[in-house]
Amino acid sequence: MRFLQNDDLGKLLLRLCVGVLILLHGVSKLMDPTSLNGIAHQLSGMGLPSFIAYGALVGEIVAPLMAIVGWQARIGGLLMAVNMIVALILVHTSQLWTLNSQGGWTLELQGMFLFGALAIMFLGSGRIAARPD
């Protein structure tokens, strides 16, 4: 059963899962740059500068790539977590305390991204990484 005790492999799987799934959202935004207009509009509606919308690209492209390759994975995890908190505030606040039709939390996916990113931030990359920390 010793083969089940591989923290570094577990960290790699977590980094790959969270990183790739969030990266797909960033690639989608790159393929359709007008999607950033909606984020910019929401930010300006809250009295914030609209250029902050480009932070979504940092949180959904740069940070996931950092986590995937294991270079500064803790910082990548932090950036992804901040990105998810901003997404929750801008888009999902009304769903925070709601359940879906199957009885699960409406924000399961967003919650998994947020807490997975926080786990990466606290755990680091492990030894299977471009630059282990």
| Domain count for the chain | 1
- Could you report the per-residue pLDDT of 70-104, keeping only the tens digit for each? 999 999 999 999 999 999 999 999 999 999 999 99
CA-CA-CA-CA torsion for 91, 123, 72, 32, nearest 10 degrees? Answer: -30
The model's pLDDT over 108-124, given as tens digits with 9 standing for 90+, comes to 999 999 999 999 999 99
Write out the residue range of the structural domain in which residue 58 sits: 7-123
pLDDT value, residue 1: 80
Residue 80 located in a structural domain: yes
Tokens representing 86? 């901003």
In a domain, 1, yes or no: no
- Residue 2 placed within a domain: no
Q: Give the global pTM.
A: 0.94
Residue 23 resides in a domain: yes
Neighbours of 6 (CB within 10 A): 14
